Amino acid sequence: MPQSGYKQFCPVAMAAEVLCTRWTMVLLRELIAGSTRFNDLRRGVPKMSPTLLSQRLKELEGAGIVERKAAREGNGVLEYRLTAAGRDLRPVVEGFGFWGQKWVESQPSLNNLDPSLLMWDMRRNLNPSPLPKRRTVIQFQYPELPASKRDWWLVVEPDGDVDLCWSHPGFEVDLYVTTDLRTMTAIWMGLTTVAKERERIDLDGNNGIARTMQTWLGLSPFAAERKRVG
Amino acid sequence: MPQSGYKQFCPVAMAAEVLCTRWTMVLLRELIAGSTRFNDLRRGVPKMSPTLLSQRLKELEGAGIVERKAAREGNGVLEYRLTAAGRDLRPVVEGFGFWGQKWVESQPSLNNLDPSLLMWDMRRNLNPSPLPKRRTVIQFQYPELPASKRDWWLVVEPDGDVDLCWSHPGFEVDLYVTTDLRTMTAIWMGLTTVAKERERIDLDGNNGIARTMQTWLGLSPFAAERKRVG
DNA sequence: CAGTATCCTATCCGATACTG
DNA sequence: CAGTATCGGATAGGATACTG
């Protein structure tokens, strides 16, 4: 932010000085969602350059929002964790999200799709409880995309852990979901539903899993907020 | 914001795109506080250039947050009013304010004082009810400041309206408050109280008004949030 | 009073390549 | 894997003066 700092004693300005730099709110969303490792953060904020990510993390550390420390397991790998001040930003970030969901036109941002980011978010919010109590594999296929971004696998372990793979994990696939990225994104954002888009989605495989898709498919944390504009 | 736009479908990013440009949150605070005219907004955001203020107002209009229309009285004077989407930002802006009050060190921003801004905010939040039911005039004096910024008058009308003057309004002064700007600002922000700073404040005039200063002096909307850092 | 026009520069940031 | 180094360009926005 050019000539940074507002030089104002108002608390709103003081907060904005820290929070309203480019990418910062989006990065915070990713931290709040639970990512702690540098490359996990990158996946959640893929358009941010590593240089800037590194710089922002330092700024957030300086502002007392994030602390970096070595992960307890792992060979000196660093983790970024929110401090109390950072956790206190959750309602602020959620405020942004719900307001954005309610009032910002979504058509333009539906032109900026990213399968990697979508699948990464889906992985996080997936709800394993309606699924069988064994390992379940779901393959997503976006035929319109180039080969390297076309196929994705969500592997749901019996303990509820979900892994995202971009090459075949080797296990048998329980359900193939074939659709276009825009439809899948719109469903995930809560702008529409599996049922409404039924004709744009091809489900092939285990019938029970197919039928309950809307329930195991976790949606965006902001999906519940009803859109008020186009 | 350089290369603007996050090109992400996440609602947090969508909101941040609109809200996290320079000065925008601070401007919104002023709109939410009730200013509607261009020059009133300027007083609330004095460090913002008129060019940028004008530009931001247009952007906010484009985003559906503000609408501009001719004031009903007055000769075609424009007013800026929040739309429903804009009013819905109140909790978001307040979230910033409370978080900032709680977690951002205030010492640095207490080096960026501005008597004009402080008095402007005091004018807005003053609570007339403990004052006499007649016109009451309170003169603030900051001896350390240059003459042009030293003296300020708050004129409280019987109906509760408060005017701010920077030259003597002509009416008899009921109370002279003489202190330094830093002390007065810290009190207004809720970081300290009139009683605690009693020795730094000189009160001269009507005793009853002097004694109740802490009550008629309206504080910052965020004063109630307790600071958690230095 | 309520803004515009113009100019210019600081700086933010994106891209890419590279390292322990 | 987890970042750092370097570079250049775009652009945001500060300053100032001006107008209806």
For residue B211, what are its two tokens?
A: 């004694």
Residue A5 lies in a domain: no
Please give the model's pTM, rounded to 2 decimal places: 0.95
CA distance A222 to A98: 6
Listed residues B58, B80, B103: the one ending a domain: B103
Q: How many domains does chain A have?
A: 2
Residue A161 lies in a domain: yes
- A residues 142-201 closer than 8 Å to B (CB): 185, 189
The answer to whether B79 and B71 have CB atoms below 8 angstroms apart is yes
Q: Which residues of B touch A13 (CB under 8 A)?
A: 25-26, 29, 100, 109
Q: Are residues B170 and B209 in the same domain?
A: yes
Q: Which domain holds residue A186?
A: 108-216
Tell me the CATH number at A118.
Answer: 3.30.1050.10
Strand D within 7 A of B49 CB: yes
Residue A228 lies in a domain: no
Is A203 strand, coil or helix? strand
Residue A196 lies in a domain: yes
Where are the alpha helices (H) located in B162-212, listed in sequence order? 181-188, 207-211
Residue B36 lies in a domain: yes
The pLDDT profile of chain A, 230 residues, written as one tens digit per residue, is 456 689 889 999 999 999 999 999 999 999 999 999 999 999 999 999 999 999 999 999 999 999 998 877 666 788 999 999 999 999 999 999 999 999 999 888 888 899 999 999 999 999 999 999 999 999 999 999 999 899 999 999 999 999 999 999 999 999 999 999 999 999 999 999 999 999 999 999 999 999 999 999 999 999 999 999 86
Q: Are residues A92 and A136 in the same domain?
A: no
**Overall residue count recorded for chain A in this entry:** 230
Tell me the CATH number at A84.
Answer: 1.10.10.10
The answer to whether A210 and A171 have CB atoms below 8 angstroms apart is no
Residue B71's pLDDT is 77
Q: Are residues B97 and B65 in the same domain?
A: yes
Residue A205 lies in a domain: yes
Degrees (nearest 5) of the Cα angle A165, A113, B87? 125
Q: How confident is the model at residue B139 (pLDDT cuts 50, 70, 90)?
A: very high
Q: Of B1, B9, B60, which to mutate for an interface test with A (greatest number of A Cβ within 10 Å)?
A: B9
Q: Are residues B116 and B174 in the same domain?
A: yes
Strand D within 7 A of A13 CB: no
Q: Are residues A129 and A202 in the same domain?
A: yes
Residue A74's pLDDT is 60
Q: Are residues B54 and B27 in the same domain?
A: yes
Q: Measure Cα distances from B6 to A2, A4, A27, A175, B15 in Å.
A: 18, 20, 12, 33, 10
Q: Are residues A96 and A163 in the same domain?
A: no
Residue nearest the C1' of C5 (CA based): B51
Residue A1 lies in a domain: no
Strand C within 7 A of B4 CB: no
Strand C within 7 A of A41 CB: no
Put simply, the answer to whether B11 touches A92 (Cβ < 8 Å) is no
Strand C within 7 A of B77 CB: yes
Q: Are residues A147 and A199 in the same domain?
A: yes
Which nucleotide lies at the shortest CA–C1' distance from B51? C4
Residue A227 lies in a domain: no
Residue B108's pLDDT is 85
Strands (E), chain A: 66-70, 78-82, 136-141, 151-156, 162-165, 175-178, 202-205
pLDDT in tens, B46-97: 989 899 999 999 999 999 999 998 877 666 778 999 999 999 999 999 999 9
Put simply, the answer to whether B26 touches A15 (Cβ < 8 Å) is no
CA distance B56 to B37: 14
Residue at B73: amino acid letter: E
Listed residues B76, B103, B130: the one ending a domain: B103
Q: Of B3, B7, B8, B31, which to mutate for an interface test with A (greatest number of A Cβ within 10 Å)?
A: B8
Contact with chain B for residue A10, Cβ under 8 A: yes
Of B15, B22, B25, the CB nearest to A12: B25
Q: Which residues of A touch B115 (CB under 8 A)?
A: none
Q: Are residues B61 and B158 in the same domain?
A: no
Strand C within 7 A of B78 CB: yes
Listed residues A56, A85, A103: the one ending a domain: A103
Of A9, A19, A102, the CB nearest to B88: A102
Q: Are residues B85 and B155 in the same domain?
A: no
Backbone angles phi, psi at A181, to 5 degrees: -65, -35
Contact with chain A for residue B52, Cβ under 8 A: no
Is B156 strand, coil or helix? strand
Q: Looking at the predicted structure, is the pLDDT value of residue B1 above 60? A: no
Backbone angles phi, psi at B140, to 5 degrees: -100, 135
Which of the 8 DSSP states describes residue A158?
T
**Between A and B, how many residue pairs show a Cβ–Cβ distance under 8 A?**
192
Contact with chain B for residue A96, Cβ under 8 A: yes
Of B7, B104, B185, the CB nearest to A15: B104
For residue B9, what are its two tokens?
A: 């479908």
What region does A136 belong to: left with phi over 0, alpha with psi -120 to 50, or beta? beta
Q: Are residues A113 and A99 in the same domain?
A: no
Q: Are residues A71 and A132 in the same domain?
A: no
Q: Measure Cα distances from B206 to A53, A117, B188 in Å.
A: 58, 66, 21
Distance between the alpha carbon (CA) of B1 and the C1' atom of D10, Å: 10
Nucleotides of strand D lying closer than 7 angstroms to a protein CB = 1-6, 9-17
**Overall residue count recorded for chain B in this entry:** 230
